[in-house]
């Protein structure tokens, strides 16, 4: 299912009518689609903030926010021309540019910025018998929806732990549905690849005592098998009401564009991202991780010429 949120630059249109005749020939703003994720996840919230910034502060760009099942779907949308921008995890990007696993041919994309890091969250109830990864066999849980980065990394985690998805009963749900299913005890746990904090998990923790199952011991095996997109990460104590910090697997998130998007459009997107990050961070805490210094590290995909021009003109 794809839900769209269209945010139009009404004020700028009204002001254009008041401009001198010499300015009247300017072309209309280009309307671009940004593929995100489920509405209770950080990808979607991030995309909505970018669209609002475009609506309020850009005369050349408008954004339509597409709700999706996640990174793999987003990259397919770029490949098929159904989106021009997307928020995606670096492991899915690595597969897409290599044309492997979920992708039968390479996807021609370029990076706009490294924006923040995802943390792999294995969420269960605090009173659950699932305390470590090896407790999963025999339980009913969600590995994430088909077409999501969560589904990719969850299966890789199970493999690194020494068993496959057949050892559990997989109910493939998105973040919205996973939260509801765990609340209703229809599943025993769910995987989620997302920023901290994820609003859907916050909502769940407000009603149910939850536990995050440690996954940190699997970071190095994943790194050895799939490269440097995976690293050890720490969920701080206090997150979702948990008592102690939890070691898990982290993976960077990128804002990317189809290679065919023109340079000026990507430059404008990059400008909005950095010029208005403080405004966006008030609504989406993950935006606070954004920095020009880190944004350029987007291995294994290169920067789009429009983004590169922005960074060269705005060196820290």
Q: Please answer whether residues 240 and 205 qualify as being in contact, where contact means their C-beta atoms are separated by less than 8 angstroms.
A: yes
Strands 85-89 and 30-35 turn out to be: parallel
pLDDT reported for residue 28: 55
Q: What topology is assigned to 119-251 in CATH?
A: D-Maltodextrin-Binding Protein; domain 2 (3.40.190)
What are the tokens at 18? 């008041």
At the top level of CATH, which class does the domain 4-11+29-115+254-313 belong to?
Answer: alpha beta
Distance CA 297, CA 291 (A): 11
pLDDT reported for residue 30: 74
Whole-model pTM: value is 0.84
Residue 17 CB-density burial (10 A; 0-12 exposed, 13-18 middle, 19+ buried): exposed
What is the location of CATH 3.40.190.10 in the chain?
4-11+29-115+254-313, 119-251
Q: What is the per-residue pLDDT across 38-57, written as a single tens digit (0 to 9) for each?
A: 998 999 999 999 999 999 99
In a structure prediction context, what are the per-residue pLDDT tens digits for the chain, which is 316 residues long?
Answer: 444 444 333 323 333 333 333 333 334 567 999 999 999 899 999 999 999 999 999 999 999 999 999 999 999 999 999 999 999 999 999 999 999 988 999 999 999 999 999 999 999 999 999 999 999 999 999 999 987 889 999 999 999 999 877 899 999 999 999 999 999 999 999 999 988 999 999 999 999 999 999 999 999 999 999 999 999 999 999 999 999 999 999 999 999 999 999 999 999 999 999 999 999 999 999 999 999 999 999 999 999 999 999 999 998 7
Q: Which position has the token pair 């109830």?
A: 125
């Amino acid at each position: 299912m794809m839900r769209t949120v269209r945010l139009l630059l009404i004020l700028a249109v009204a002001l254009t009518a008041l401009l001198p005749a010499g300015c009247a020939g300017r072309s209309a703003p280009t309307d671009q689609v940004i593929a995100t994720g489920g509405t209770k996840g950080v990808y979607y919230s991030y995309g909505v903030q970018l669209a609002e910034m475009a609506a309020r502060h850009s005369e050349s760009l408008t954004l339509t926010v597409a709700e999706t099942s996640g990174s793999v779907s987003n990259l397919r949308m770029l490949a098929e021309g159904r989106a021009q921008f997307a928020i995606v995890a670096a492991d899915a990007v690595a597969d897409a540019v290599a044309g492997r696993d979920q992708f039968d041919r390479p996807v021609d994309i370029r990076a706009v910025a490294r924006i923040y890091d995802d943390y792999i969250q294995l969420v269960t109830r605090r009173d659950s018998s699932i305390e470590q990864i090896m407790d999963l066999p025999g339980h009913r849980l969600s590995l994430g929806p088909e077409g999501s980065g969560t589904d990719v990394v969850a299966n890789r985690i199970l493999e690194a732990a020494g068993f496959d998805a057949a050892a559990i009963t997989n109910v493939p749900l998105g973040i919205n549905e996973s939260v509801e299913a765990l609340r209703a005890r229809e599943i025993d746990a769910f995987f989620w690849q997302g920023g901290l904090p994820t609003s859907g998990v916050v909502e769940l923790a407000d009603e149910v005592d939850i536990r995050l199952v440690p996954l940190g011991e699997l970071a190095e095996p994943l790194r050895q098998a799939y490269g440097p997109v995976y690293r050890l990460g720490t969920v701080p104590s206090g997150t979702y009401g948990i008592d102690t910090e939890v070691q898990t697997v982290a993976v960077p998130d990128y804002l990317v564009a189809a290679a065919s998007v023109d340079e000026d459009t990507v430059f404008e997107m990059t400008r909005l991202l950095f010029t208005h990050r403080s405004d966006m961070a008030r609504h989406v805490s993950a935006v606070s991780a954004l920095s020009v210094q880190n944004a350029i590290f987007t291995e294994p995909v290169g920067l789009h010429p429009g983004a590169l021009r922005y960074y060269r003109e705005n060196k820290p």
